[in-house]
């Protein structure tokens, strides 16, 4: 595959970072570590600070305190080009006004790996684009305008573009948003199969439990718990953080937990 990894993942270390604005603390003393090749899910209720935390990891925001290091080096010390070679980001909202074709948009994902002296190799580029499009099930949309695709298709194209960057660290903001259940599973399977370090915000606790090696549960901008899904996702903690009753058992297909939510009183004559 053209987009197979050329770089090895390194450790991402987040040490006591805080960020706030308008006198309000949004991220409060957050620490965790992503060991090379692990997939970490960032969980927590709406507005708790998941996207803000992710923004501190891809340098859109600079924490007011604490440090983020990748491979032992503060992320602020990477040049823009070095950082783009290591880290790919897929955000929740699709870029607006992309009237270019899917293939043209994807070709921008190849730029991070090219040096200015490299000769253009249109055939190799086209093959790499075809391969990632096939992986996300969109080869037939290759020449379509990006802005005419459905929300879920756009999301899959943006993930394909991130793969073309061949990052060693992938940061995803709710990658399963807009996706139907098949593609929620496919996309997370694909991301996991890359074997690189991944940090992803995610709302669906069952998907997080099934695919993430570790989960970071946020509560009021602070770390409520960090560890394996089994350790973190207890009914007690889910109730405290989300205010929802649940039951947690083992998923019949594997060793990961399965969370079943209680939807209030069920009428006795309900079918
Ligand atoms: N630049 C900013 N200026 C003011 N408030 C901000 C800014 N960025 C984030 N916030 C606030 O910080 C809080 C956390 O926002 P964030 O988007 O990180 O939450 P989230 O956990 O990702 O939410 P959701 O699950 O709804 O996507 C929100 O209350 C938001 O309004």
Could you give the CA distance from residue 88 to residue 109 in angstroms, rounded to a whole number?
9
pLDDT digits (tens, 9 = 90+) for 93-147: 666 666 899 999 999 888 876 665 555 678 888 999 999 999 888 999 999 999 9
**Residue whose CA is closest, atom 6 of ligand 1?**
21
Closest CA to 76 of 92, 93, 56, 95: 56
- Residue of 66 and 263 predicted with greater confidence: 66
Could you give the CA distance from residue 187 to residue 201 in angstroms, rounded to a whole number?
14
Q: Residue 271 domain-assigned?
A: no
How remote is the CA of residue 51 from the centroid of ligand 1, in Å? 7
Q: Which range, of 21-35, 46-60, 140-154, averages the lowest pLDDT?
A: 140-154
pLDDT at 218: 98
* Number of independent structural domains in the chain: 1
CATH code for the domain in which residue 241 is found: 3.40.50.300
**DSSP states of 193-248 as a string?**
HT-SEEEEE-S-HHHHHHH-SEEEEEETTEEEEEE-HHHH--HHHHHHHH---EEE
User: Scanning the structure block, which residue is given the tokens 């570790």?
Assistant: 214
Q: Label the pairing between strands 257-261 and 39-43.
A: unpaired
Q: Residue 7 domain-assigned?
A: no
Complex ipTM: 0.96
**Residue whose CA is closest, atom 31 of ligand 1?**
47
Q: Residue 267 domain-assigned?
A: no
**Site to substitute for ligand 1 among 45, 50, 241, most atoms within 8 A of C-beta:** 50
Q: Residue 4 domain-assigned?
A: no
Query: Is ligand 1 within 6 A of the CB of residue 43?
Result: no
Query: Is ligand 1 within 6 A of the CB of residue 47?
Result: yes
Structural domain including 220 reads 12-261
Q: 8: helix, coil or strand?
A: coil
DSSP 103: H
Query: Is ligand 1 within 6 A of the CB of residue 63?
Result: no
How much is the average pLDDT of 239-246? 96
In the numeric block, which tokens belong to residue 168? 């060693």
Q: Residue 243 domain-assigned?
A: yes
Residue 236 burial class via C-beta count within 10 angstroms: exposed 0-12, middle 13-18, buried 19 and up: exposed
pLDDT digits (tens, 9 = 90+) for 200-224: 999 999 999 999 999 999 999 999 9
Rg, Å, the chain Cα set: 20
pLDDT digits (tens, 9 = 90+) for 58-106: 999 999 999 999 999 999 999 998 999 899 999 976 666 668 999 999 9
How remote is the CA of residue 43 from the centroid of ligand 1, in Å? 14
User: What pTM does this model have?
Assistant: 0.90
pLDDT at 237: 97
Closest CA to 59 of 72, 75, 79, 41: 75
How remote is the CA of residue 87 from the centroid of ligand 1, in Å? 22
Could you give the CA distance from residue 167 to residue 37 in angstroms, rounded to a whole number?
12
Q: What is the mean pLDDT of the chain?
A: 90
In the numeric block, which tokens belong to residue 22? 């308008």
């Amino acid at each position: 595959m053209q987009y197979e990894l050329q770089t090895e993942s390194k450790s991402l270390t987040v040490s006591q970072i805080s960020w706030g604005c308008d006198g309000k603390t949004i991220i409060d003393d957050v620490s965790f570590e992503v060991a090379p090749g692990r997939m970490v899910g960032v969980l927590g209720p709406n507005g708790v600070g998941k996207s803000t935390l992710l923004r501190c990891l891809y340098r859109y925001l600079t924490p007011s305190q604490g440090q983020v290091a990748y491979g032992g080096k503060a992320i602020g010390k990477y040049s823009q080009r070095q950082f783009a070679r290591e880290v790919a980001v897929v955000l929740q909202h699709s870029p607006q006004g992309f009237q270019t074709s899917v293939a043209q948009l994807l070709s921008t994902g190849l730029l991070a790996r090219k040096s200015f002296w490299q000769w253009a190799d249109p055939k190799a580029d086209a093959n790499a684009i075809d391969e990632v499009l096939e992986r996300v099930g969109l080869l037939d949309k290759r020449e379509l305008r990006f802005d005419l695709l459905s929300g879920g298709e756009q999301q899959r194209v943006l993930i394909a573009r991130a793969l073309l960057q061949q990052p060693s660290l992938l940061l995803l903001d709710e990658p399963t948003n807009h996706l139907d259940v098949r593609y929620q599973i496919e996309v997370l399977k694909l991301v996991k199969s890359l074997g690189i370090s991944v940090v992803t915000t995610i709302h669906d606790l069952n998907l997080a439990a099934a695919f993430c090696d570790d989960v970071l549960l946020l509560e009021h901008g602070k770390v409520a718990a960090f560890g394996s899904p089994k350790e973190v996702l207890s009914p007690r903690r889910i109730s405290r953080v989300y205010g929802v009753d649940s039951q947690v058992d083992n998923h019949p297909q594997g060793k990961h937990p399965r969370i079943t939510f209680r939807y209030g009183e069920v009428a006795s004559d309900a079918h």
